[in-house]
A and B are shown apart, each in its own frame.
Chain A
Amino acid sequence: MAYSNKVLDHYNNPRNVGSFAKDDPRVGTGVVGAPECGDVMKLQLRISDNGMIEDARFKTFGCGSAIASSSYVTELVKGKHIDEAMALKNTVIVKELNLPPVKIHCSVLAEDAIKAAIIDWRTRKGAAAAGAAKGSGAEQRNSDKSAQR
């Protein structure tokens, strides 16, 4: 199979590879896919209090197109408001990376990862607020773990 130049570029020079500290309250983590399916994406977004995505990191187990899709979305969502990021469709990724039909699931996974990360951030923010009200951080640490899962 021939890869598009953009896929090759993201694969060879992936943007924003890495991880944020998971206990950072500003960070939302989305892990989607499954090892037995051959694709696992971990996308982390650092989000300001007013919902702006300040920074993004990813790690991906998967084919070249999966790596390229996740690398591309880290660039795509940076500087966007979470409402805007939530509305992103996988077709944007397909178009940008020129993905063939058999690789469309990679773009779907990347879209899911954005949503999962934002939902995680919201959940944890809610939990932190509730926790702060109760004067305890325990629930926050628990939700950290479930986000990882």
Chain B
Amino acid sequence: MVKLPIYMDNHATTAVDPRVLDAMLPYFTQKFGNAASRNHSFGWEAEEGVDKARNQIAGLINAKSKEIIFTSGATESDNEAIKGVVEFYKDKGNHIITCVTEHKAVLDSCRALERAGKASVTYLAVDKYGMVDPGQVRKAITDKTVLISIMYANNEVGTIHPIAEIGRIAKERGVIFHCDAVQAVGKIPVDVERDGIDLLAMSGHKIYGPKGVGALYVRAKGPRVRLTPMIDGGGHERGMRSGTLNVPGIVGFGAACEIAGQEMHSEAVRMRSLRDKLQAGLFERLDEVYLNGHPTERLPGNLNVSFAYVEGESLLMGVNDVAVSSGSACTSATLEPSYVIRALGTNEELAHSSIRFGVGRFNTDEEVDFVTERVSREVKRLREMSPLYEMAREGIDLKAVNWRA
């Protein structure tokens, strides 16, 4: 019998790996020094821990350790990358290229710059699988373009963008390329050299590390990328991000990266097989289930599907011993259904019916079986209660109905 509740929302966050926690613990009570204290052993110990983590993190993405800047998380990294570049290179240009399915940390940073009159932004559309077309990126570049910001893999539908191709285009045209790689790092191979990435945002808690710590990779050579800092102070992190380092968090983040580097390949195989089993199980038991995202170019643990005629939040409520997430408006603060699902051209009703499963390191085969059964049963129950399901079965074309909203 499986232990309930089951956590299957690993795009939102992940549990800290016990090995990561073990690495962190000494840094709370024994090696608690300030990594910036240069004149005693407490400071040296802390600095050693930070240096090791910097190496571990750099190693995972084929960067040099001095190119890693620690932040409070990927939201800060995205903000710093986008606002820092626009500010620093304002004499060169003011145009940003990004895409409509980016994380809010990227989109809202761009919007803030637009509102302040500091940048003009091109938001590229995506295809029905959520993928950006590198040809469109190339076409959007102007002589004013200072930054391209495209995520590695989408957090909702898991679609992996053609990053290396976009990186090549950015290089050719001499435009800085920022990549929000929060969902990809540690899950699939990310290589800043192969992929031509100049700035890269990552986060600790998405890869079985702690919350409250992230990093920004800043290319040092070919080209050397410069940023205007947003947080001023003691000049930590080569002046790009002041503030006392979160040493235990950083140590944990480093340990998480090292584990991910060692286990990524075997883990990806396992994640993919659990995910495929879940997908096959749901499609077998239910009719009118639609996959959101790319059928193959997708993160190994991601499954985003719409169960037609069933509203997402009501389904989450029905499977309350399984933690998954929904693109339904009712689960969001804005009362709008997922902008990512809608950007794929999916109709609004199906956007309301979308559920995201995020299979992770600690999920088991038995859990996948349980979730498959539990979700299928609840979808069937809710469909029996759904006027839309009834109408569809009567042959009524729901699109032709004149709804009284």
Contacts and interface: CB of A to CB of B under 8 A. Distances in A.
Contacts of A116: 404
A42 interface: yes
A63 B387 contact: no
Contacts of A63: 311, 313-314, 317, 328, 330
A119 to B, nearest CB: 11
Given A63-B330, A64-B313, A64-B317, A36 B384 contact: no
A17 B385 contact: yes
B343 interface: no
Contact of A67 (B328, B335, B385): B385
Contacts of A33: 403-405
B386 A59 contact: yes
A149 B401 contact: yes
B405 A34 contact: yes
A147 B24 CA distance: 64
A66 B335 CA distance: 14
Contact of A37 (B313, B387, B405): B405
B348 A36 contact: yes
A142 interface: no
B22 interface: no
A110 to B, nearest CB: 13
A40 interface: yes
Interface residues of A, number: 32
Interface in B311-370: 311, 313-314, 317-318, 328-331, 335, 337, 347-349, 352
Contacts of A8: 317
B107 interface: no
B310 interface: yes
A14 B335 CA distance: 25
A31 interface: yes
A149 B402 contact: yes
A65 B386 CA distance: 14
A59 B309 CA distance: 11
A136 B386 CA distance: 33
A72 interface: no
Contact of B390 (A1, A36, A59): A59
Q: Which of A11, A39, A64 is the most central at the interface, judged by chain B CB atoms within 10 Å of its CB? A: A64
A10 B390 CA distance: 21
Given A11-B317, A11-B318, A61 B404 contact: no
Nearest to B404: A32
A17 B384 contact: yes
Interface in A85-123: 102, 116
A36 B357 CA distance: 23
A148 interface: yes
Contacts of B404: 31-34, 116
A6 to B, nearest CB: 14
B388 interface: yes
A61 B384 contact: no
A37 B162 CA distance: 34
B326 to A, nearest CB: 10
Contact of A102 (B335, B389, B390, B405): B335
A35 B313 contact: no
B390 A38 contact: no
A108 to B, nearest CB: 11
Nearest to A36: B348
Nearest to A8: B317
B12 interface: no
A34 to B, nearest CB: 4
Given A33-B403, A102-B335, A116-B404, A38 B328 contact: yes
Interface in B203-223: none
B386 A38 contact: no
A41 interface: yes
A82 B396 CA distance: 30
Interface string A21-38: 000000000011111111
Given A14-B385, A19-B390, A35-B388, A62 B314 contact: yes
A61 B388 contact: yes
30 contacts: A11-B318, A19-B390, A31-B404, A33-B405, A34-B404, A34-B405, A35-B348, A35-B352, A35-B398, A37-B348, A38-B329, A38-B330, A38-B337, A38-B348, A42-B390, A59-B386, A59-B390, A61-B309, A61-B386, A61-B387, A61-B389, A63-B311, A63-B317, A63-B328, A63-B330, A65-B330, A66-B311, A66-B314, A67-B385, A149-B401
Interface of B: 309-311, 313-314, 317-318, 328-331, 335, 337, 347-349, 352, 384-391, 396, 398, 401-405
The 9 closest A-B pairs by CB, nearest first: A36-B348, A34-B403, A35-B349, A42-B387, A34-B405, A38-B352, A63-B330, A59-B387, A63-B313
